[in-house]
Amino acid sequence: MKHGRTTWDRAVLPPDEFEERRLAVERVLESIGAVAVVGFADSSRPGLVGYLSNYLTAGALATLICVPGVEATLVAGLGGGRDHPFIKGTSYVQDVRWFPQLGAGISQVLAEHGVAEGRLALAGFDDCLNRARADGVLAALAAYEVVTFDDAFDALRRTKRERELGVMRAARAVLDEAGSAFSASLQESGEVHGALIVAERVAKLRGCRDFRALALARDGSLRPWPEGGTGSTSWSNDPFAVYLAAEYLGYWADLGVSAPDQGETSWCVRALEAAQAALQIGSSGASLQVALRDRLGAAVEQITLEATGIGLTLDEAPRLSNDESALAREGDVVCLRVWAKDGRTSSVVTRQVLVGERGCTPLEGSSPA
Amino acid sequence: MTARGAPGDVGDLAMASLTSSAALVEAVAARQRRLLDAAKASGRAAVFIYSAAAHSLLATDGVWWASGFKPMGECALGIAPDGSFELWVSPSGDLSRAEDAVGARAAGVSDVFVAAAAWLARCGLRGGEVLFCGTDKISVRRYPSAAAVFGEHDGTGDRLLLELARRRDKVELAHALEAARIAELGFARLLEEIRPGLGEFAVVAILDGILRELGSQDNFVLISASQRNRSVHPPTERTVERGDVLLAEISPSVGGMFTQICRSVTIGRPGPSIARDYELLDAAFEAGRVACVPGGPVRAAALAMDAVLTGAGFGDYCRPPYMRARGHGLGIGSVLPGDVTVSTPEIFAEGDYFVLHPNQYLPTSGYLLCGEPVVVEPGGARLMSSRRGELASVGV
């Protein structure tokens, strides 16, 4: 459950940032001939809603209706409006409403802005709605030519804006602090479970809204913490491996901490360095695998490389390791995650990199103010 | 004050025994039997349960309920006509955790509907012969795959599962009791930590750590503060200061069973209006509690609470946006009786488990929280917490 600091940090993501994002989306809408876009979001997929409004729903479905040139409308909350004053405090969009019938509500808002027909783009529709709700929405939008905006939005989102990169660096810095706290606590107590509690506390005290972890269990598997174990008795304390992820102002960062120490000569780190060295404009998941094999030889069989985008979610475009057609391009922020398994020992290292003209560079952490 | 029942209410087994693997396995087997029997009574030969692993306080997970395994990715469970079952788990890397729950019945798969199609073939069944539970969890993107295997299903299975699972079994109640114990202990420890100058989010961070240390596996929290709260909401960076009223909805979970206690804390001595209004909400809670009887309408509990507030002159505030609901169901397999509102058509059943809370904005003190987890019994709802909460104060 996401329940950490929920805020709009205007210093880091000022109103002009959301204005520029809105204009960028409107340019894409114009290019596809759409008269408006409606975005849907849930707690795992903030999508267009989070991107354009800063509002990150922790539970109930949120919907954003954007007609070019006019203020957007955010449909959010559990009904009744009790939570709307709070939502307005965290949202760039101030027209916040709730409708008992979502489709009718969307149609009403569009009509208010004189948009009665035409091509209507939908973002997040396929993933955030179930069939029954989707049917209701589509029935209410029968007058429009409905098209998906997902691919276009993914393409727009791949190139992170400067302020997004700033937040992502801050997120990584916070997670580095949490990771250090984890290591210090583990050294003192010898107990992974307790050290993860410490790490989570540090992350949340530094302003993260969400914190997730995978930890090495005694049977050699990596499991979600804490559900995967029973308190302190199920986690492997020596050797240990934890994968930490945290969301800060809507943006995710992740980090791997393992022991034996993943020094420069470990397979994990060598794989990470090989992946980073190979990643450039035009790289695919397959090309990265070739680079790993060239560098590691037979040891590559112990390695799993994930190379995906990261930002408002932990796994977003470009999904180089999951999509054969995906190719890296300049401006991508790619998260390289290397998982190594050797018997009952696992290791994980991660690095977020920015793809540039001549290869990629690490997205270094920079401490938030 | 209405105390919760003795441990004997959940049998003679201690908490540790009831939440042990053996007890859970036995409970899960019983749940599957009941579900299969219900399917056959409705003319279906088998059961299929789908989970998208989208967990929340207000949502159920049929796979979790029927297997004891908490999905972390798309999962499904099939119960064959002979009572045997299979659990299909994704990502496949989560298989070992699933095997802990169901042993060799678990299989790691890349697509649960492909696995389900093979299972149907092995069972010699067509999709329409299966009771499909979890249609409300399937996204638009995944629906074609589901329909290709099972055809169209109208949600009958979803409601049947809710009804079947609404009487929480002993293991569920034991988990709920433990979660309530954690919530109360956690709140007591939190009171020792709250001090002026702490950000709302820092209060949550401290509480999270406490609840984890006490054994909570997940936690839904709303903590906010104001000199005059308009509502309760997720924590911001607003600092807590003397004169504030801090509101806390604390909802840890054990074994998937969430609890919820709703607490109000004054930073400094409470003003007379706050103390008086809290007593009013407390009286409303009691009025609602006695109205939670098997066979009685759920709305009667909401109306009873409203009546207390109306009697005090606050009738105009017994509606949104000054409040949302007077309570809501909690559970893995079922969240019936659902939201406790004046308009709900639901009827209470013995064993219904939910949080009852007359949480409310009052013009004289702002929003206040007051609520406990309860289970419906013939004489009214019984507390699952050890005692009714009180208006707390720190820094007096």
Q: What is the CATH number of the domain that holds B121?
A: 3.40.350.10
Is there a shared CATH topology between the A15-158 domain and the A162-362 domain? Answer: no
B237 and A197 in contact by Cβ < 8 A?
A: no
Shortest CA distance from A148: residue in chain B: B141
Q: What are the DSSP calls for B294-363, one per residue?
A: TTSBHHHHHHHHHHHHHHTT-GGGSSTTS---SEEE--SS--TT----TT---B--TT-EEEE---EEET
Quick one: residue A38, left, alpha or beta (phi over 0 = left, psi -120 to 50 = alpha)?
beta
- So what's the pLDDT on residue A227? 81
- Which residue, A279, A272, A276, A277, is CA-closest to A326? A279
Q: Which stretches in chain A have pLDDT values below 70?
A: 228-233, 261-265, 365-369
What lies within 8 Å, CB to CB, of A142 at 6+ separation is: none
Grouping H, G, I as helix, E, B as strand and the rest as coil, residue A199 is helix
**Test mutation, A54, A57, A204, A348, chain B, max B CBs within 10 A:** A204
**What CATH code is carried by the domain that includes residue B197?**
3.90.230.10
Q: Quick check: is B206 in a domain?
A: yes
Cβ of residue B257 closer than 8 Å to a chain A Cβ: no
Q: Quick check: is B4 in a domain?
A: no
Domain boundary among B124, B145, B164: B164
A197 and B56 in contact by Cβ < 8 A?
A: no
For chain A, give the longest Cα–Cα distance.
Answer: 65
- So what's the pLDDT on residue B11? 38
Domain boundary among B164, B179, B194: B164
A7 and B237 in contact by Cβ < 8 A?
A: yes
A201 and B233 in contact by Cβ < 8 A?
A: no
CA-to-CA dists, residue A285 to A41, A275, A308, angstroms? 28, 10, 9
B141 and A127 in contact by Cβ < 8 A?
A: yes
Q: Where are the beta strands (DSSP E) in B134-260?
A: 218-226, 245-254, 257-258
The set of long-range contacts for A332-335, using a CB threshold of 8 Å and a minimum separation of 24, is A332/A158, A332/A159, A333/A160, A333/A165, A333/A168, A333/A309, A333/A363, A334/A279, A334/A307, A334/A308, A334/A309, A334/A310, A334/A360, A335/A254, A335/A306, A335/A307, A335/A308, A335/A309, A335/A310
Quick one: residue A81, left, alpha or beta (phi over 0 = left, psi -120 to 50 = alpha)?
left
Cα(B276)–Cα(A369) distance, integer angstroms: 43
> B382 phi and psi, to 5 degrees?
-100, 140
Q: Which CATH superfamily is domain A15-158 in?
A: Creatinase/prolidase N-terminal domain (3.40.350.10)
Q: Which of A5, A197, A201 lies at the smallest CB-CB distance from B236?
A: A5
- Inter-axis angle of helices A162-189 and A192-205, to 10 degrees? 150
Class of domain A162-362: alpha beta
Domain boundary among B149, B164, B179: B164
Q: Is residue B332 exposed (0-12), middle (13-18) or buried (19+ Cβ within 10 Å)?
A: buried
Q: Which residues numbered 169-208 in B keep a CB inside 8 Å of some CB on A?
A: 199-202, 204-206, 208
The C-alpha of A5 sits at a distance from chain B's nearest C-alpha, in angstroms, of 5
> A33 phi and psi, to 5 degrees?
75, 25
Write down the pTM of the prediction. Answer: 0.94
- So what's the pLDDT on residue B1? 33
CB A201 within 8 A of CB A230: no
Give yes or no: residues B98 and B136 share one domain. yes
Q: Quick check: is B85 in a domain?
A: yes
Give the ipTM of the model, two decimals please: 0.93
B209 and A227 in contact by Cβ < 8 A?
A: no
A86 and B56 in contact by Cβ < 8 A?
A: no
Q: Quick check: is B240 in a domain?
A: yes
Cα(B193)–Cα(A270) distance, integer angstroms: 45
Give yes or no: residues B58 and B31 share one domain. yes
Give yes or no: residues B156 and B212 share one domain. no
Give yes or no: residues B201 and B69 share one domain. no
Q: Which of A86, A127, A223 lies at the smallest CB-CB distance from B233?
A: A86
Chain B residues whose CB is inside 8 A of the A214 CB are: none
Q: Quick check: is B57 in a domain?
A: yes
Q: Which residues numbered 53-82 in B keep a CB inside 8 Å of some CB on A?
A: 54-58, 70, 72
**Test mutation, B61, B140, B340, chain A, max A CBs within 10 A:** B140
Q: What is the mean pLDDT of residues B31-56?
A: 96
Give yes or no: residues B27 and B145 share one domain. yes
- DSSP character for B104? G
Q: How many domains does chain B have?
A: 2
Q: Which domain holds residue B93?
A: 15-164
The chain-wide mean pLDDT, for chain B, equals 93
Q: Is residue A104 exposed (0-12), middle (13-18) or buried (19+ Cβ within 10 Å)?
A: middle
pLDDT tens digits, one per residue of B268-291: 999 899 999 999 999 999 999 999
- So what's the pLDDT on residue B9? 38
Q: Which residues pair with A94 in a beta bridge?
A: none
Give yes or no: residues B337 and B383 share one domain. yes
The answer, yes or no, to whether residue B224 has pLDDT greater than 80, is yes
Q: Quick check: is B9 in a domain?
A: no
Chain CA centroid to CA B60, Å: 8
pLDDT tens digits, one per residue of B122-170: 999 999 999 999 999 999 999 999 999 999 988 899 999 999 999 999 9
Chain B residues whose CB is inside 8 A of the A81 CB are: 320-321
The C-alpha of A189 sits at a distance from chain B's nearest C-alpha, in angstroms, of 14
Q: Which residues numbered 90-149 in B keep a CB inside 8 Å of some CB on A?
A: 93-94, 96-97, 135-141, 143
B218 and A224 in contact by Cβ < 8 A?
A: no
Give yes or no: residues B54 and B155 share one domain. yes
Regarding beta strands A345-356 and A144-148, do their DSSP bridges make them parallel or antiparallel, or are they unpaired? unpaired
- So what's the pLDDT on residue B87? 98
CA-to-CA dists, residue A266 to A121, A263, A272, A274, angstroms? 48, 6, 10, 12
**Single-letter residue type at B380:** G
The answer, yes or no, to whether residue B10 has pLDDT greater than 60, is no
Q: Quick check: is B7 in a domain?
A: no
Give yes or no: residues B252 and B333 share one domain. yes
Give yes or no: residues B235 and B269 share one domain. yes
Give yes or no: residues B204 and B94 share one domain. no
The C-alpha of A69 sits at a distance from chain B's nearest C-alpha, in angstroms, of 30
Q: Which residues pair with B393 in a beta bridge?
A: B266
The C-alpha of A359 sits at a distance from chain B's nearest C-alpha, in angstroms, of 31
- So what's the pLDDT on residue A220? 86
Cβ of residue B317 closer than 8 Å to a chain A Cβ: no
The answer, yes or no, to whether residue B97 has pLDDT greater than 80, is yes
A127 and B56 in contact by Cβ < 8 A?
A: no
User: Which percentage of chain B shows pLDDT scores above 70?
Assistant: 95
- DSSP character for A25? H
Q: Quick check: is B3 in a domain?
A: no
User: Tokens 């449909």 correspond to what residue?
Assistant: A75
Chain B residues whose CB is inside 8 A of the A200 CB are: 205, 208-209, 212
- DSSP character for A85? H
HSE at residue A304, side-chain half, CA atoms within 13 A, is 11
Q: Return the domain boundaries, chain A.
A: 15-158, 162-362
Give yes or no: residues B175 and B98 share one domain. no
**Lowest-confidence pick of A14-18, B69-73, B153-157, B171-175:** B153-157
Give yes or no: residues B268 and B214 share one domain. yes
**Test mutation, A1, A43, A148, A193, chain B, max B CBs within 10 A:** A1
B231 and A86 in contact by Cβ < 8 A?
A: yes
User: Which percentage of chain B shows pLDDT scores above 90?
Assistant: 90
What lies within 8 Å, CB to CB, of A31 at 6+ separation is: none
**Single-letter residue type at A19:** E
